[in-house]
């Protein structure tokens, strides 16, 4: 499995993955934020590739010198195999390279099920950002 930056050719497989994994409401919100993040800084959108198939993705953003994990998605057939952790670690490295002052996890109602994953990686409840409306990629 390889974690790399998003490429334009990934767009269709990524949208299919997000449609499969997310609720309709979450998908619509995520696609708007995804488009904004791609236009601002596509290096903070990472994909996990296994056997030339995209099996996961994560969207991050930097807002006011803070790094945010916005949305993570892993194909149901590939869950519980460390892909989510690899995506989180890859994005964390990007944040650290850019010297962000703090790394936070957006904790909206759609991310609640994955918060234990972040906790298993050492993040605590004070790392969860619950007023995600203020993020530029969400509010425009």
- What pLDDT score does 109 carry? 78
Q: What is the largest CA-CA distance in the chain?
A: 38
CA distance 89 to 130: 21
pTM for this prediction: 0.90
Residues 68-124: pLDDT tens digits? 999 999 999 998 899 999 999 999 999 999 999 999 998 877 777 788 899 999 988
Is residue 133's pLDDT more than 70? Answer: no
Give, in degrees to the nearest 5, the angle at Cα 126 between 72 and 102. 70
Residues 10-37: pLDDT tens digits? 999 999 999 999 999 999 999 999 999 9
Q: Is residue 47 within 8 Å of 56, Cβ to Cβ?
A: yes
């Amino acid at each position: 499995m390889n974690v790399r930056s998003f490429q334009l050719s990934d767009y269709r497989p990524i949208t299919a993955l997000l449609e499969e994994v997310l609720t309709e409401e979450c998908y619509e919100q995520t696609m708007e934020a995804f488009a904004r993040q791609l236009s601002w800084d596509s290096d903070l959108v990472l994909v996990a590739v296994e056997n030339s198939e995209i099996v996961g993705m994560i969207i991050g953003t930097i807002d006011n010198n803070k790094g945010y994990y916005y949305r993570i998605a892993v194909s149901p057939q590939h869950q519980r195999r460390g892909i989510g952790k690899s995506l989180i670690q890859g994005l964390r490295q990007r944040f650290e390279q850019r010297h962000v002052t703090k790394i936070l996890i957006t904790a909206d109602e759609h991310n609640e099920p994955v918060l234990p994953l972040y906790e298993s990686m050492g993040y605590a409840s004070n790392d969860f950002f619950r007023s995600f409306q203020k993020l530029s990629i969400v509010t425009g």
